[in-house]
Chain A
Amino acid sequence: MTLAEILPYLLKGTWVTVEITLISIVLALLMAFLAGIARVSEHRLVRWIARGYVELFRGTSLLVQMFWIYYALPMLGVEMSAFTAGVLTLGLNIGAYGAEVVRGAILAVPKEQYEASIALNFTPLRRLWQIILPQAIPAMIPPFGNNAIELLKGTALVSLITLHDLTFSGQLLRNLTYQTADIFSLVLLLYFVIALFITGVVRLLERRLGVGLDRGGMAR
């Protein structure tokens, strides 16, 4: 097969990879903010639960987690499709890394800002929403970008739980044609293109969100 014949097959798999990446990123962001904010909570129990989640998902392998959720969890009566299992694992795993980013960025907001919002008698929720997060979010963007690339690379593992993604398409085509070098070069290149796209989006966000923010002279 020529490359022009191979490409359409791979693009189908690419679409699945993109889908999984996007949905997992949403879930990962949600978990990152939930757990990251919980990590700096005033309640010890909330902090401990978040800490347990972060340590558990950062301490074990992504692939082991995926196999556990896909193959072992049904034995406990929880069954789900390979797609759900893949997205869930990726979201929870990268979310745990993201939680540390959120925590770090929140803790980096100057202490006076907390004190001022307490002095103004803001409710904790309003303090978080209007004072802390708007200042913390720009600092989260670059590390979130790295996490998104990690997530993209992690999506390749869903091929091992039978999902027909880009990597899986590459494998199938290889079994069919034995043009190993061509196919896997093309697969790698497609992943690289998606990664470049993510990097581009992150740069754009960085520029948009960084505007007009006074970071105590750090910016200049």
Chain B
Amino acid sequence: MKFVWDWDYALEILPPLLKALVVTVEATVLGFLLALVVGLLLAVLRRAPLRLVRWPVVFFVEFVRSTPLLVQLYFLYFVLPDYGVSLPALVVGVVGLGLHYSAYTAEVYRSGLDGVPRGQWEAARALNLSAYRTYRDVVVPQAIPPIIPALGNYLISMFKDSPLLSAITVVEALQRAKILGSESFQYLEPFTVVGLLFLALSLLSAAGVRRVEHHLPKHGIPMK
């Protein structure tokens, strides 16, 4: 076979691919929001005084982090209907991505929580604050800013994992490229264009994370 790169075709498929890329970005952003919330919950539960609470959390985090996202997605996608829960593929994908990355964000939060000086916990205790208020008003506001870059990096990783949703029939950018390729028997252009789109977006978001990093206070939160 000879080398043929078809510029007309590459331009022709650009609009549908960009449209599908919106789905990719949507899934990533929604999944990331879920990961941010669930991860924080896991990180806090991991510090619970009860071993019965801590232990399952530790196991969940370890298990999720050492097994493939693809199989986890299959699990959710095929098992949930057996229990009478039928959700659209995109929702399953967002939940799968979110839960998978919650295990990673939980570890990031953990390092943030560990970084809050002991005195702060003790002071909250001396003031007789409830556990909820201790976290909300004292600990979390100090734990979050230093870990924002690490969280941002997981957002980028998640974006790069979102093509896996194609395996559970979500028509995101990669799936669209596959469909286009199978219609025209030209796979080179769709897959190359999708690859370049991913490269461009992840380089852009990496630059974004660096920018945010730049604006963060260097040592904890500024005292006002």
Contacts and interface: CB of A to CB of B under 8 A. Distances in A.
A157 B199 contact: no
A157 B174 CA distance: 14
Interface in A19-43: none
Interface of B: 1-4, 63, 65-72, 74-75, 78-79, 82, 160-164, 166-167, 174, 177-178, 181, 186-188, 191-192, 194-195, 198-199, 202-203, 206
Nearest to A65: B195
A107 to B, nearest CB: 19
A191 B79 CA distance: 18
A72 B82 contact: no
Contact of A68 (B78, B186, B195): B195
Nearest to A182: B79
A76 B3 contact: yes
Interface stretch (A53-61, A124-132, A136-144, A202-210): A53-61
Given A56-B199, A63-B164, A149-B65, A180 B71 contact: no
A61 B161 contact: yes
B181 A156 contact: no
A207 to B, nearest CB: 21
Contacts of B160: 60-62
A71 B164 contact: no
Contacts of B188: 72, 75-76
A95 to B, nearest CB: 16
Max chain A C-beta neighbours (<10 A), residue from B72, B181, B187: B187
B106 to A, nearest CB: 16
A87 interface: no
Given A75-B186, A184-B71, A184-B75, A59 B202 contact: yes
Nearest to B199: A59
Max chain A C-beta neighbours (<10 A), residue from B75, B82, B203: B75
A167 B194 contact: no
Contacts, number: 119
11 contacts: A59-B199, A60-B202, A61-B162, A75-B188, A76-B188, A149-B65, A152-B68, A167-B71, A171-B74, A192-B67, A199-B66
Given A60-B198, A74-B1, A149-B65, A68 B191 contact: yes
The 5 tightest CB contacts between A and B, nearest first, are A195-B66, A156-B68, A75-B188, A153-B68, A156-B70
A18 interface: no
Interface residues of A, number: 41
A184 B135 CA distance: 37
A212 interface: no
Interface of A: 55-56, 59-65, 67-68, 71-72, 74-77, 149, 152-157, 159-160, 167, 170-171, 174, 180-181, 184-185, 187-188, 191-192, 195-196, 199
B188 to A, nearest CB: 4
Contact of B66 (A157, A174, A185, A192): A192
Contacts of B1: 74-77
Nearest to B162: A61
A64 B198 contact: yes
A59 B160 CA distance: 8
A2 to B, nearest CB: 18
Nearest to B159: A61
Contacts of B194: 64
A63 B163 contact: yes
B71 A188 contact: yes
Contact of B79 (A155, A157, A184): A184
A87 B161 CA distance: 18
A155 B194 CA distance: 21
A173 B6 CA distance: 41
A191 B192 contact: no
A113 to B, nearest CB: 29
